[in-house]
Amino acid sequence: MKKIKILTLVLAIVLVTMVAFIGIYVPMQNRMENKVKDYSYMMDLKGGRNIILEVDNGNKTIIKDSEGKEVKDADNLSDEELKEKGYVKEETPYNSEDSLNADNYKKSKEILVKRLKELKVEEYNIKLDEENGNIVLEIPENDNTDSVVSELTPTGKFEIVDSETKEVLINNDDLKLVNVMYGSDNSSNSATSTGTVVYLNIEFTKEGAKKLEDVTNKYIKVETSSTETKETGEDGENTETSTAEKKISLMIDDDEMLSTSFEEPIRTGRMQLSIGRASKDNDTLKGYISQASNMATVLNNGKMPVKYTVHDNQYIQSDITNNELSIVVYVMLAVTVAALVFLIIKYRAMGALGTISYIGLASIFLLLIRYTNVNLSIQGILGIALTLVLNYMFIYKLVSKIKNEKLKEVSVSKKIIETYKGFFVRIIPIVIAVIVFCFAGWATISSFGMVMFWGIVLIAIYNAIVTNLLFRINDNK
């Protein structure tokens, strides 16, 4: 019975080891795809995206009427049509001369850093040339990199303006918080399903909420009626009802997101902007959510005083090649194998049980790193090595204690508890340092801290359950 229990535990460890080192492959579109998640690497191992943001020295074309008011929706008119209507074109620089100064460059950099943090970019290098305002940025290369790059150049200018006079009624200073909301829309035309609508929820400050109430009270739909006498000579009159609307335009970076009037005043201090709706297509819905989230990120972190354009956007390879990384892995593997062979030679059966337990922990640890989304740096790989060394020290002390004190009338369970307590008391300083490293502002050091944190947690839990069970089963007569 004892052999069956040990064999069952060993087979479970072998299965986990195969998953960790080989993977789980399933057929996918005429190819085999590994369903086990891959490691996440930081820029020092995987490389990253190098982006150069230059101050936009271009001009924008504005069309104005004879009274000097800006005219929207006139871009498609020919020069002759513009002349007939009395419209004129004006070239206006995106960045005025007054805005191009060191203070505005620094503020723009600060806003970019806030956006990166809100976009969950944990690792980045950013440098500002205070003379010309150009910014060099390095970020990791992953599936979200292109989306992040697209959110670097919008200025985040928010305005609610009078559709006719273009008077600015509300701006960025009145914003408190912008976030994403979504819910069911029962107004869908489908009789069998309702759509999911994605909203950009805009909350205003106390002063902004008062402005919003005033605006929505002023720009409200008003029904008017008029009476006309029939021209046919017949008795009677015609009464027609129409809706007179003064509209506002909600503008983001001078692009009109919507033009509307209001059914009633908004007194909640909140305004919702519909981004899109999807009933069954999850990819479309995710796209709307991503679009709304990116807009929220841009608006939440303030308006950039300087408009930038992407001058360069290219992938930069890591200085560490795959061959060099493979050499490090092979060396670690060779040292580990040698240490485990020594353990077996010295302690025989007990050493073999310790080796089996060690391999199981190493396999689970490698899976844990992947699924806890730890980004591996060079320091992170060092953390893996140190974790495996700590676990080897624990196994070695435990096997040594059981083997050397075999003649003493002390149960294996008690020896395991004594070894467990003694080991973790000694590594308390390491645990404290690891927790500090986890919250370090330097991403590579944080990677080391997170790897070690999960490693120590796993050593504590795994050895208390699996190693303890393995040796106790073996000790039963």
Whether residues 24 and 55 share a domain: the answer is: no
Whether residues 365 and 304 share a domain: the answer is: no
Where does a domain end: 271, 294, 316?
316
- Tell whether 385 is covered by a domain: yes
The two beta strands, 222-229 and 175-185, are: unpaired
CATH number, domain at 177? Answer: 3.30.1360.200
Site of tokens 């308390």: 428
Site of tokens 């009464």: 239
Q: What is this structure's pTM? A: 0.74
Whether residues 294 and 420 share a domain: the answer is: no
Site of tokens 């902004």: 208
- Report whether 115 contacts 107 (CB < 8 A): no
Give the integer Cα–Cα distance in Å for 149 and 314. 11
pLDDT score at 188: 46
- Tell whether 109 is covered by a domain: yes
- Tell whether 202 is covered by a domain: yes
* Arithmetic mean of pLDDT, 34-58: 89
- Tell whether 340 is covered by a domain: yes
pLDDT of 224 above 70: no
pLDDT of 234 above 90: no
Whether residues 16 and 123 share a domain: the answer is: no
Residue 299: CB partners within 8 Å, gap ≥ 6? 156, 158, 172, 175, 178, 202, 252
The per-residue pLDDT for range 323-335, each reduced to its tens digit, is 888 898 899 999 9
Whether residues 179 and 213 share a domain: the answer is: yes
- Tell whether 143 is covered by a domain: yes
Range scoring the smallest mean pLDDT among 93-102, 225-234, 287-296, 382-391: 225-234
* Arithmetic mean of pLDDT, 382-388: 95
Range scoring the smallest mean pLDDT among 93-97, 194-198, 232-236, 385-389: 232-236
- Tell whether 243 is covered by a domain: yes
Whether residues 292 and 145 share a domain: the answer is: yes
Number of domains in the chain: 2
Whether residues 366 and 288 share a domain: the answer is: no
466 lies in which domain range?
2-38+319-475
- Tell whether 148 is covered by a domain: yes
Whether residues 30 and 55 share a domain: the answer is: no
Residue 463: CB partners within 8 Å, gap ≥ 6? 357, 361, 391, 394, 398, 420
CATH number, domain at 447? Answer: 1.20.1640.10
pLDDT score at 184: 72
Whether residues 168 and 252 share a domain: the answer is: yes
Where does a domain end: 293, 316, 339?
316
Give the chain's mean pLDDT.
Answer: 85
- Tell whether 43 is covered by a domain: no
Give the integer Cα–Cα distance in Å for 158 and 19. 51
Where does a domain end: 295, 316, 337?
316
The per-residue pLDDT for range 57-78, each reduced to its tens digit, is 988 887 777 777 777 666 677 7
Whether residues 298 and 352 share a domain: the answer is: no
Whether residues 59 and 186 share a domain: the answer is: yes
**What confidence category does residue 291 fall into, taking pLDDT thresholds of 50, 70 and 90?**
confident
Q: Which helix (H) or strand (E) is 249 found in, with range?
A: strand 248-252
Whether residues 211 and 357 share a domain: the answer is: no
